[in-house]
Amino acid sequence: MASTSVSRVLPASPQQVWDLIGGFDTLPDWLPFIRESTPLEGGRVRRLTNPDGDVITERLIAYSEAERSYTYTIVDAPFPVTGYLSTLRVHPVAGRDDVAEVQWSGRFTPDGVSDAEAQDLFAGIYRDGLEALRETLTA
Query: What's the one-letter identity of residue 64?
Result: S
pLDDT tens column, 2-17: 999 999 999 999 999 9
Contact 105, 87 (CB under 8 A): yes
pTM of the model: 0.94
Distance of CA 22 to the CA centre of its chain: 10
Under DSSP, is residue 44 helix (H, G, I), strand (E, B) or coil?
Answer: coil
CA distance 133 to 139: 10
pLDDT tens column, 57-99: 999 999 999 999 999 999 999 999 999 999 999 999 999 999 9
Residue 131, pLDDT above cutoff 90: yes
User: Residues 6 or more apart from 57 whose CB is under 8 A from it?
Assistant: 45, 46, 47, 48, 74, 75, 76, 77
| 41 CB burial (10 A radius; 0-12, 13-18, 19+) | exposed
pLDDT tens column, 32-51: 999 999 999 999 999 999 99
Give 48's DSSP letter. Answer: E
